[in-house]
Amino acid sequence: MWIEQRPIMFALIQVKQKGEHYVLECGGHKMEISARQYQYFDQLIHGSSVHKTVMDFIAKGWLVSFRELYNLLESMTKIGWITNPEYLSYFTLAKANSATGVKDLAMTSKGQVVANPDLIRHLPFFRTLPKEVVQLFLKNTRIQSVPANTRVCKTGDTSREMFATIDGTVGVYRIFGDGKRQLMSTVPAGSMFGEGGFLLGRPRSADVITLAPTTLAVIQHDAALAEVIDSGKAEVLQQRFWVLQGLLASEVFSHMPSETLDSLVFAGKIVRAKEGAILAKEGDPGDCMYIIVQGNIAFSQKGKSLRALSQGGIFGEVALMVSGGKRTATAQAQRDSILLRIDMQEFYTILSNHLILAKEIETIAWQRWESRV
């Protein structure tokens, strides 16, 4: 997210061409990189960000290898050639302090302390909801000012709060068996996190820690909100709730902290497919990918049945990332299904801002391409 939007600061690196490859040298270290990695490096070293580099390549019709880009940045960071502090945290194990408490920043209305609606109504999450539903959320929302390096969520906690960043930035950290943390993604202003605990009652799957002084809108779950979600009065919220369930059931995304999935929860367009409907046809151009929210989708090649995917399955990414825009299989709904369709431009915009997620999806795409499944 936030980190992929920032220009990268490099040490003074010397470059020599060696056949079809390039050799980089600085501070006693040497690194040989591919011609494609050099294209990324050449643009990044001239002040571009990861996001801008990816989108520039896509605009020219060039495929982007997120795995090669990720590996390049990781290697250069670990030997000290990238000096941005946030990249050091991104690619190395980082430490953070435990929570120390927060200070409420709220407004007073009729003698009561409440969340300031003007601070949060502009957030994408609230803009999609009916006015009366927004009011219900506001009643359960408080505003907090949180110092830097403060833990907001702890792995394993079962609190039912959801958070929106009004300003500042927080980091989502995966916890390893030895207690160390690794930064998985950052959550910039305007984004939500903690939906898994709020909507599904799941234990927190990550530590979330402020990387700078941050103002948060903290939304507390209660019975009235649960009734709104379950009754379908907030249709958009309910649909996105289904999307989150699908993502957390996915073999692709289930191992990632649920707090990293915010960009997908509110991405794309919800579509419904009747039993028997064809969603993709082998050999046709492909300009979108799908995440199965509910239902089952069967796949075939040259008339031969391959496999079926259910809730949480993704398909269509091979055409966008590997096969030059061609569908490699026919996808047909086995029963009435609900899917999240993400068009190509939005797909690459999301991935350009979530490098780890991009690397994961690209890995799946290549595995399917190489097995032709």
289-346 pLDDT per residue, tens:
999 988 899 999 988 998 899 888 889 999 999 888 899 999 999 989 989 999 999 9
Q: Are 97 and 25 in contact (CB under 8 A)?
A: no
Whether 301 is in a domain gets the answer: yes
In a shared domain, residues 133 and 84: no
Residue 324: C-alpha distances to residues 50, 287, 288, 327 (Å): 22, 10, 13, 9
Q: What percent of the chain has pLDDT above 70?
A: 82
Whether 203 is in a domain gets the answer: yes
Q: What is the mean pLDDT of residues 122-133?
A: 68
Three-class DSSP category at 21: strand
Whether 248 is in a domain gets the answer: no
User: Could you read off the pLDDT of 9-46 as tens digits, one per residue?
Assistant: 999 999 999 888 999 999 999 999 999 999 999 999 99
Residue 368: C-alpha distances to residues 314, 328, 371 (Å): 11, 10, 5
Q: Which residues of 116-155 are buried (b: 16+ CB within 10 A; e: fewer)?
A: bbebbeebebbebbeeebbebbbebbbbbbbeebbbbbbb
In a shared domain, residues 114 and 202: yes
Q: What is the CATH number of the domain that holds 25?
A: 3.90.930
How confident is the model at residue 103, as a pLDDT?
A: 38
How confident is the model at residue 198, as a pLDDT?
A: 83
- For 268, counting Cβ atoms within 10 Å of its Cβ (0-12 exposed, 13-18 middle, 19+ buried), the class is buried
In a shared domain, residues 141 and 226: yes
How confident is the model at residue 289, as a pLDDT?
A: 93
User: Taking Cα atoms as reference points, which of 336, 332, 260, 324 lies closest to residue 293?
Assistant: 336
Structural domain tally of the chain? 3
Q: What is the CATH number of the domain that holds 321?
A: 2.60.120.10
Range of the domain at 190: 103-234
Whether 362 is in a domain gets the answer: yes
Whether 255 is in a domain gets the answer: no
Stated length of the chain: 373
State the angle between helix axes of 35-44 and 50-59 in degrees (0 to 180), rounded to the nearest 10: 120
Of the listed ranges 116-120, 166-170, 321-325, the one predicted with least confidence: 116-120
In a shared domain, residues 300 and 342: yes
241: pLDDT strictly greater than 50 = yes
Cα dihedral across residues 318, 321, 323, 325: positive or negative: positive
Three-class DSSP category at 280: strand
Q: Which residues pair with 256 in a beta bridge?
A: none
What would the two tokens of residue 5 be? Answer: 């939007």
In a shared domain, residues 128 and 215: yes
Whether 65 is in a domain gets the answer: yes
111: pLDDT strictly greater than 60 = no
In a shared domain, residues 110 and 183: yes
What's the rounded Cα separation, in Å, for the pair 252 and 363? Answer: 10
250: pLDDT strictly greater than 50 = yes
Question: Between 366 and 92, where is the model more confident?
Answer: 366
How confident is the model at residue 355, as a pLDDT?
A: 86
How confident is the model at residue 96, as a pLDDT?
A: 46
In a shared domain, residues 131 and 193: yes
240: pLDDT strictly greater than 80 = no
How confident is the model at residue 171, as a pLDDT?
A: 86
Q: How confident is the model at residue 128 (pLDDT cuts 50, 70, 90)?
A: low
186: pLDDT strictly greater than 80 = no
Whether 254 is in a domain gets the answer: no
In a shared domain, residues 119 and 221: yes
Whether 160 is in a domain gets the answer: yes
101: pLDDT strictly greater than 50 = no
The predicted model scores a pTM of 0.67
Q: Which residues pair with 143 in a beta bridge?
A: 217
Q: What is the mean pLDDT of residues 184-203?
A: 77
Helix or strand run (H / E) with residue 170: strand 170-175
In a shared domain, residues 111 and 227: yes
